[in-house]
């Protein structure tokens, strides 16, 4: 139903005058609400199956992330295993079977999402590279789908291969099986960010990397995020990673996931390796660890 409405609105927008009126009205609305909301969950519940076998992945999730102009916000999502962190990301991405939500509304830029799209890029933990494509063709994939001609997309892809710390000369023509896990994640990040999505969704992208590679990747991500000014949702198991990367940390309760705590955390001013040893930084980590542990124990008590 909502889809039909937005389709009906489009032709109006195309006609000059009507469009101007519509935008003005829209501006007033957003001013009335403060900043416009880039992602908003209203009472979102996702249930799989029916009857006694039904499984509720997330329940009554409410949050709103504002579109910070010229900056974008970095939201880290933490929580115990199986609490529905990935479900939240996949609902924003519009990926089945998590999309659509069973009840409630998932709004991106104030509109319900019809399905997956390049405005919401996603980086996964595994199976990330298209094995049959060279690094260059992996990075250029999204541009190729958009119909950008070969010369232009390769030029931009080479720039991004450099930006994520790979060698344009040595690595561009390699196939994924010739790369290490960290290098493959660099390719995946370049392939997503080259499209300059306004929302970047990352589902434990560094979860399979060794600790030192992981720290380097965190610094790379911060650097690229500052350049892109996009809103990032970053799911992770690692509290240090969440506190270091995030402007805000959402903590989800155990299954079915509901957002229980929302914390502002310090801005990453130093490289990951230094900052994650800082006592002030560690205070935040311990505080969050205590919160999660108390959530888990109260959950267990509830089961007994």
Partner 1 sequence: MLGYALGVSCIVLIVGAWFLLTLGEEAESRIISPTILQSPWEVVASLPSLIIERKLLESIGATLWRVILGFSLAVLIGVPLGMAAGTWRSARAFLAPVVLYGRNMPLAALIPLTVLWFGIGEFQKVMFIFIACVPFITADAASAVMGIHDRYVETAQTLGASSRQIAFKVLAPLALPDIFVGLRHLFGLAFGYIMLVELFDAKAGLGYLISVSQRLGPRAHIYLILIIIGILAYGIDRLLAFFQRGLFPYRSEE
The residues that touch partner 1, with contacts defined as CB under 8 A, are: 93, 95, 115-118, 120-122, 124, 126-128, 130-133, 141-142, 144-146, 175-177, 188, 191-192, 195, 201
Token pair listed for 196:
């300059």
The residue behind tokens 């270091």 is: 244
Choose between 63 and 130: whose C-beta lies nearer to partner 1.
130
Distance of closest approach, residue 135 Cβ to partner 1, in angstroms: 11
Nearest in space to 251 (alpha carbons), one of 80, 19, 52: 80
Structural contact between residues 207 and 236, judged by C-beta atoms closer than 8 angstroms = yes
Choose between 63 and 124: whose C-beta lies nearer to partner 1.
124
Distance of closest approach, residue 179 Cβ to partner 1, in angstroms: 11
Distance of closest approach, residue 95 Cβ to partner 1, in angstroms: 5
Distance of closest approach, residue 238 Cβ to partner 1, in angstroms: 21
Structural contact between residues 248 and 73, judged by C-beta atoms closer than 8 angstroms = yes
Distance of closest approach, residue 129 Cβ to partner 1, in angstroms: 9
Token pair listed for 256:
């079915």
Choose between 128 and 253: whose C-beta lies nearer to partner 1.
128
d(CA 266, CA 42) in angstroms, rounded, equals 27
Residues in CB range of 66: below 8 A, 6 or more apart = 34, 35, 36, 37, 38, 73
Beta bridge partners of 263: 249
Choose between 106 and 295: whose C-beta lies nearer to partner 1.
106
Choose between 5 and 146: whose C-beta lies nearer to partner 1.
146
């Amino acid at each position: 139903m909502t889809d039909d409405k937005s389709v009906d609105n489009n032709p109006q927008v195309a006609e000059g005058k009507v469009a101007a009126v519509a935008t003005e009205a829209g501006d007033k609305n957003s001013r009335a609400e403060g900043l416009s909301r880039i992602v908003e969950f209203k009472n979102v519940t996702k249930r799989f199956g029916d009857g006694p076998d039904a499984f509720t992945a997330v329940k009554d999730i409410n949050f709103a992330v504002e579109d910070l102009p010229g900056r974008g916000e970095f939201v880290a999502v933490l929580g115990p295993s199986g609490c529905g962190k990935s479900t939240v990301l996949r609902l924003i991405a519009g990926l089945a079977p998590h999309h659509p939500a069973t009840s409630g509304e998932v709004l991106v830029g104030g509109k319900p999402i019809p399905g997956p799209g390049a405005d919401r890029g996603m980086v996964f933990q595994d199976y990330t590279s298209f094995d049959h494509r060279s690094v260059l063709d992996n990075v250029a994939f999204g541009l190729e789908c958009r119909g950008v001609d070969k010369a232009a997309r390769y030029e931009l892809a080479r720039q991004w291969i450099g930006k994520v710390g790979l060698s344009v000369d040595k690595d561009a023509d390699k196939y994924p099986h010739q790369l290490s896990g960290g290098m493959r994640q660099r390719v995946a990040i370049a392939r997503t960010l080259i499209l300059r999505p306004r929302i970047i969704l990352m589902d434990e992208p560094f979860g399979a990397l060794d600790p030192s590679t992981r720290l380097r990747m965190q610094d790379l991500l911060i650097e690229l995020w500052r350049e892109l000014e996009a809103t990032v949702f970053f799911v992770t198991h690692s509290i240090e990673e969440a506190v270091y990367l995030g402007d805000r940390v959402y903590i989800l309760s155990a299954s079915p996931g509901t957002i229980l705590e929302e914390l502002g955390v310090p801005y990453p001013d130093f490289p990951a390796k230094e900052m994650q040893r800082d006592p002030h930084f560690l205070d935040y980590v311990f505080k969050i660890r205590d919160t999660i542990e108390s959530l888990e124990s109260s959950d267990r008590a509830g089961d007994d």
